[in-house]
Structures are given as structure tokens and as C-alpha cells.
């Protein structure tokens, strides 16, 4: 079964520092991959998604992610963290084969300190 693993349940960075949130997937064929963000007391919001077009995907709020098939990874990055980036981030995959659902990782809580 397909799954995603997010390394690090908590990540803390300084404002202005690089943000790197890790996601690895297990899949026998390239899946569709997503990053969602959840701000406090809000629903999940799509940041970006990979659907087999460009391997470097740009999303909202300055985030981007690179699909690396050789490493089965889809890490999320942002060059310069902002206080407003503090949230929980979820990597997700849609199983290949026509399934219409998201399989989520456990989430990474990002803290940004001054």
C-alpha cells in the first residue's frame, strides 16, 4: 500500500532561515503528491501538488517542492521563513490506479522564532 513518511514531527527555524520539511513516499509508480498546510483552528489548505509535469513545483506563500524519483522524496522548502509560516504541514499522496483519496503523512509542526 502506498504511504508517505514525514521526517520530524516538529521543526523549528529562525525567521529568515531556510525551511526544509521532509517527505518520502512509497509507491511502485509515480504518484500524485501534495503538500497541505493547516493554520491553527483552520482546515487543510493546499500549498502545492505534483502531477508528473515539472519536477520542481511552486506553490503559494513562496513554498516549493521537488519531486525526486530516485530518492522517492518530495521535500518542501522555502528560502526564508516568516513568522506567519508557523503551522502544521502535511504531505499526501493519491494512490495510482484511479483512486480518489489522499493518504496523509503524520504532519510536521513548523515553529518560527524571531
Partner 1 sequence: EPEVTQTPSHQVTQMGQEVILRCVPISNHLYFYWYRQILGQKVEFLVSFYNNEISEKSEIFDDQFSVERPDGSNFTLKIRSTKLEDSAMYFCASSEFQVSNTEAFFGQGTRLTVV
φ, ψ at 82 (rounded to 5°): -120, 150
- Residue closer to partner 1 by CB (options 17, 102) is 102
In contact, 88 and 38? CB cutoff 8 Å:
yes
Residue 44 C-beta: closest distance to partner 1, Å = 4
Closest CA to 33 of 60, 1, 57, 7: 57
Interface residues with partner 1 (CB under 8 A) are 32, 36, 41-46, 49, 51, 90, 92, 94, 99-107
Residue 64 C-beta: closest distance to partner 1, Å = 17
Residue 32 C-beta: closest distance to partner 1, Å = 5
- Residue closer to partner 1 by CB (options 75, 89) is 89
Q: What region, left, alpha or beta, does residue 13 occupy, with left being phi > 0 and alpha being psi -120 to 50 degrees?
A: beta
Amino acid at each position: 500500500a502506498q504511504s508517505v513518511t514525514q521526517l520530524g514531527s516538529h521543526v523549528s527555524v529562525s525567521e529568515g532561515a531556510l525551511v526544509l520539511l521532509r517527505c518520502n513516499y512509497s509507491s511502485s509508480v509515480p504518484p500524485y503528491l501534495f503538500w497541505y498546510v493547516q493554520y491553527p483552528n483552520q482546515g487543510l489548505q493546499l500549498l502545492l501538488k505534483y502531477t508528473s509535469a515539472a519536477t520542481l513545483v511552486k506553490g503559494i506563500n513562496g513554498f516549493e517542492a521537488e519531486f525526486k524519483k530516485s530518492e522517492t522524496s518530495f521535500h518542501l522548502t522555502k528560502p526564508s521563513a516568516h513568522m506567519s509560516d508557523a503551522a502544521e504541514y502535511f504531505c499526501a499522496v493519491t494512490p495510482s490506479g484511479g483512486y480518489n483519496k489522499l493518504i496523509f503523512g503524520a504532519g510536521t509542526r513548523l515553529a518560527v522564532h524571531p
